[in-house]
Structure 1
Amino acid sequence: MQIRLECPEDTDTIRSLTTAAFKDMLHSSQTEAAIIEALRKAGVLTVSLVAIMDGEIVGHVAFSPVKVSGTAKGWYGLGPVSIWPNQQRKGIGQALIRDGLDRLRRLNAQGCVVLGAPAYYSRFGFMSDPELRYGDVPPEYFQRLVFTAIAPKGEVAFHAGFDAT
């Protein structure tokens, strides 16, 4: 498997892949593909990676800036992560996430947040922190990974692209 930055010619495949990956997920609002497009259009897809197997895109992950307590301080949000349904549970998502987190570290990011399954994201070092909040989401589902010695406190806001409908 090869992981690389997305290219302009990947956008249609990423849209189809993301739509398919979230189609049957109960927690999904079915707006994930629109979110990626809105982030791309706004120029805030800081890291957007695709996984390639046998010459085909099989997965995608996006990282974009977030604000903590109203200010941008080098923090990013992970997601959406999309894998073709027939390719899920093969380690593709893990590889994309690990590569993306490494790229954020090389950009001197302060850390990353994610909204998702605690058991899955804890394997990357993410942990819930009651001092860091995202709306009324139960704290165990909103987690952070600190790259520096300082953990932020306050309310997290994702880019307006996450409000895509």
Structure 2
Amino acid sequence: MPVEDRLIIRSEKAADARAIFSLTAAAFLGHPHSQQTEHLIVDALREAGVLSLSLVAEQKGALVGHVALSPVGIADGSPEWYGLGPVSVLPACQGRGVGTALIAEGLARLQAAGALGCVVLGEPAYYGRFGFTHQPGLVLDGVPPDYFLAQPFGAHLAQGVVHYHAAFAARRP
């Protein structure tokens, strides 16, 4: 692969916000399990100052993917747990490992920063590749339990209802 074709994963820069908004909207356009608000959620997380980790995938000088990680609250008070998502990849680049690279790097950076675990709402077969599993002690209200997955980064597994930041309630104007 030529150097210019190489996928680069890096932290978001302020100048990336508009491109992240557009690529996230495009990534979820027409997706059957989307309310078409993921791009609004990312902006709301950023505006609230709770976008703990925002990574982009860049190829040939253009952004082709993005992953957001933000803190979640857990009923037992466990600190340092995060929610993975939204994960966005431009439609033309889906199925090429961009999402996989973003998720792997995001989880590695969370662990290196001392996070205790991460949760995700998603397809078990896909997220299981990264170590996510269904944990009966962690619940997201209104979601089928098999699709709410967790990955503890140590021996302690948080317990209780999980609450995402209010930014996840972002709606189209």
TM-score by length of 1: 0.98
The aligned amino acid for 1:149 is A
Shift of 1:130: 1.2
Aligned to 1:33: 39
The 5 Å alignment of 1:5-16 reads 5-16=11-22
Deviations 1:99-135 (A, max 9, x none): 0000000110000000000000000000001111000
Match of 2:63 among 53, 57, 61: 57
Contact 2:78 2:158 in 1 (8 A): no
Q: Counterpart of 2:137 in structure 1: which amino acid?
A: E
Out of 53, 73, 86, the position equivalent to 1:67 is 73
RMSD: 0.9
Amino acid aligned to 2:117: G
CA distance in 2, matches of 1:89, 1:12: 24
Alignment partners' CA distance in 1, 2:143 and 2:122: 10
Cα deviation per residue 1:13-46 (whole Å; 9 max; x = unaligned)?
0000000000010100111011000000011111
After TM superposition, what 4+ stretches of structure 1 lie above 6 angstroms from structure 2?
none
Structure 1 segment 124-143 matched on structure 2, within 5 A: 124-143=130-149
Q: Which runs of 5+ in 1 are unaligned?
A: none
% of aligned pairs identical?
52
CA contact (8 A) 1:74 1:109 kept: yes
| 1:105 corresponds to which of 88, 104, 111 | 111
- Equivalent residue letter for 2:166: A
TM-score (structure 2 length as normaliser):
0.94
Structure 2 equivalent of residue 145 of structure 1: 151
Match of 1:18 in 2: 24
Distance in 1 (CA, whole Å) between partners of 2:110 and 2:53 is: 8
Equivalent residue of 2:129, what SS?
Answer: helix
How many matched pairs?
165
What amino acid does structure 2 have at the position aligned with 1:78? Answer: L
Contact 1:70 1:157 in 2 (8 A): no
In the TM superposition, what is the alpha-carbon distance from 1:71 to its structure 2 partner?
A: 3.2
Contact 1:6/1:49 (8 A) holds in 2: yes
| Rg comparison, structure with higher value | 2
Q: Which residue of 2 aligns with 1:159?
A: 165
